[in-house]
Amino acid sequence: MAIQWFPGHMNKAKKDVAARLKGIDVVIEMLDARLPASSANPMIKALSRGKPTLKVLNKQDLADPNVTRLWLDWYNAKPGTRALGLDASERSPAQRLVAACRELVPNRGGLEKPIRVMICGIPNVGKSTLINTMTGRKIAKTGNMPGVTKGEQRILLADDVELYDTPGMLWPKIEVEEGGYNLAASGAVGRNAMDEEEVALELIAYLMRHYADALTARYRLDDISVLQDYEVLEMVAKKRGAMFGGGRPNMQKASEIVLTEFRDGVIGRITLERPDEWTAWVKKAKEL
Ligand code: G4P
């Protein structure tokens, strides 16, 4: 598995975000609740130089609520860090963000010392959607162009809490193999960046371990406990009529079906990594 980013592009984005973070009191890092660790950008931590950080596990409507709780506890146990779960159905997200920011920087606040915050995160985690909800207007979507700050404005989340309306965007950095697959399954990395069948098979293998009931229910499968991941994908192909002439399963088509349905949340509320798994994956990657 290989995903290539353009180093020049990345360096510019890094510099832009570092410059903009200078006057910031609290960094709000948006993560995808289905893959909180894989959707983090480790550079944000380095660039924010130990500033208090609020981790927002967004799209929690798609994630497994039990696992979201594990992740929130995991982040909340870290010094200088608070975490909360969120999704686009939340009508007044600003109130919760403001409360968490105040806890993180109790010595700031008041009109003399407003709390200045910036939202950072990889593309597609929901930064623009959240900012739009809080401003009640449609901000120009920066697309997938990191570091666009032209015409940037500050939004008052409270009398003394200011949010910059251009999110700080950095591409994901793939530290562990499993994280790469999870990013691809979520749709955070471009469709052409990875082999869809490989990604779908990894996804199926994970679902077989943790969400076998949801998988069998969605595709009306019988007992899958003795099957291999590719055999399950073949069965999905058969069930959904994704077949070539001659009765051969169209694995590419079946992969697209599984990935699209996972992304749309119709297989169920699923999270692709747990804190203990992530720790083990990182350890394994370091040993390699
Ligand atoms: P970004 O600025 O971080 O790049 O992300 P953006 O807000 O553009 O959101 C990326 C996609 O994720 C959008 O879908 C958006 O609707 C969806 N999204 C954002 N927040 C949530 C959430 O809490 N839950 C769910 N389920 N989805 C969320 P899209 O298909 O790209 O566009 P559209 O359907 O909004 O047109």
Residues 201 and 229: their CA atoms lie apart, in Å, by 6
Q: What is the pLDDT of residue 283?
A: 95
CA of 125 to the centre of ligand 1 (A): 7
d(CA 258, CA 242): 12
What atom in ligand 1 is closest to the CA of residue 125? 3
Q: What is the mean pLDDT of each run of 10 residues along the chain (288 residues)?
A: 59 86 94 97 85 97 98 96 97 95 93 93 93 76 55 86 87 88 90 87 98 98 96 98 95 98 98 98 92
Q: Determine the Cα–Cα distance for residues 91 and 46; give it in Å rounded to an integer.
A: 32
**Does residue 118 contact residue 24 with C-beta atoms inside 8 Å?**
yes
User: Which domains are delineated in the chain?
Assistant: 7-169 (3.40.50.300), 177-287 (1.10.1580.10)
- CB-side neighbour CA atoms (13 Å) of 187: 12
One-letter amino acid of 113:
K
Residue 125: its pLDDT value, please? Answer: 95
Cβ of residue 216 lying under 6 Å from some atom of ligand 1 = no
Question: Which atom of ligand 1 approaches the CA of 167 most closely?
Answer: 2
Task: Please provide the size of the chain in residues.
Answer: 288
CB 96 within 8 A of CB 117: no
Strands of 60-179 (E only): list them.
81-85, 115-121, 154-158, 161-164, 168-169
For residue 229, count other CB atoms closer than 10 A to its CB.
Answer: 17
Q: Would you put residue 72 in left (φ > 0), alpha (ψ -120 to 50) or beta?
A: alpha
State how far the Cα of 29 lies from the Cα of 47, in Å rounded to an integer.
12
Q: What is the ipTM of this complex?
A: 0.97
Coil, strand, or helix at residue 163? strand
Q: State the first-to-last Cα distance of the chain, in angstroms, to the nearest integer.
A: 15
How far away, in angstroms, is 47 Cα from ligand 1 center?
A: 25
Mutate to test the pocket of ligand 1, among 129, 163, 189 (most ligand atoms within 8 A of CB): 129
Helix axes 212-219, 229-239, angle to 10 degrees: 30
Task: Report pLDDT for 152.
Answer: 74
Please give the pLDDT value at position 159. Answer: 92
